[in-house]
Amino acid sequence: MIKIENLYKSFNDLEVLKGLTLNVEVGETVTVIGRSGCGKSVLLKHIIGLLTPDMGDIWVDGKNVKMLSKSELYKLRLNIGVVFQGSALLDFLSVWENVALGLTENQKITVDKAKEVARQKLSLVELEGVENKRISELSGGMKKRVAIARALAVDPLYILYDEPTTALDPITARTINELILSLKRKLKITGIVVTHDMESAFYVADRIAMLHDGKIVFDGTPTEVQTTDNKIVQNFVKGGGQY
């Protein structure tokens, strides 16, 4: 599981996280909602050790992330797939090379084997036959699927989605939501989705956690989010992200 305890993080004089606590159980998908700039992406960066907390602890599979050596952190990251906001694909590589990047950079693997793994993961996201295309030939929705396939390439135990439906039209966004849910059911991967898209949050989540003023101010099921009398949550949900 992922366990986050009393997490604090500031950048110069800007306090972003102010005692955030959150648990993510094995096999569930937790969506973290909150307005843009509230610290959702900062939270993800702490989980994979890209940022170190000022105070507090992040535990992944019983390991305290901030206490890990570089080699231990490297091993931990091999169990975590990340789908970055904007997809973060490399235009100078083909689709399959993007998908297999984590394998070719971090493992001893032949080109043929890497390409085969890429094909398998592209099939999981319903993108057969595109492995030799350039990134510039793909639509926004296809790029997002490639990014998800890349996150799956190392067979992770966890997958972190950073605003997976940002900049997508409603139909494409719904397709990505369906894919996230489908992958959870097929692969039993534990997931964290950060978003301010409430349709996405309700669709994919087992639990929804509201991040506000640096803390989790509500944590419950999608039904509980819709019925809570918590004014911060109500205003966010009814205002489409404005509160």
pLDDT tens digits, residue range 131-158? 999 999 999 999 999 999 999 998 999 9
In this prediction, residue 103 has a pLDDT band, given cuts at 50, 70 and 90, of confident
CB 16 within 8 A of CB 53: no
The yes-or-no verdict on residue 184 having pLDDT over 50 is: yes
Q: What is the phi/psi pair of residue 184, to 5°? A: -60, -45
- 67 and 180 in a single domain? The answer is yes
Say how far apart CA 227 and CA 159 lie, in whole Å.
28
Q: Does 73 share its domain with 168?
A: yes
- Please tell me the predicted confidence (pLDDT) of residue 166: 85
Q: What beta strand segments (E) does 140-214 contain? A: 158-162, 190-195, 207-212
- The answer to whether 73 and 49 have CB atoms below 8 angstroms apart is yes
The two three-digit tokens of residue 44, written as one number:
């993800």
Q: What is the mean pLDDT of residues 172-182?
A: 92
What whole-number distance in Å separates Cα of residue 8 and Cα of residue 215?
A: 9
Q: Indicate if 165 and 233 belong to the same structural domain.
A: yes
| CA 218 – CA 189 distance, rounded (Å) | 24
Q: Is residue 85 part of a domain?
A: no
- Same domain for 188 and 145? no
Give CA torsion, residues 115, 104, 148, 3, to 10 deg: 140
pLDDT given at position 168: 87
pLDDT digits (tens, 9 = 90+) for 42-101: 999 999 999 999 999 999 999 999 999 999 998 899 899 999 888 889 999 999 999 998
Let me know whether 183 and 68 are in one domain: yes
Nearest Cα to Cα of residue 50 among 16, 22, 85, 74: 74
97 closest CA partner among 76, 126, 121, 79: 121
Q: Confirm whether 86 is domain-assigned.
A: no
Strand partners for 161 = 83, 193
Domain containing 133: what range? 93-155
d(CA 155, CA 80): 9
Same domain, 72 and 161: yes
Residue 196: predicted pLDDT? 86
Q: Residue 239's pLDDT is what?
A: 76
Where residue 36 sits, what CATH number does that domain have? 3.40.50.300
User: Count of domains in the chain?
Assistant: 2
Identify the domain boundary among 155, 171, 200: 155
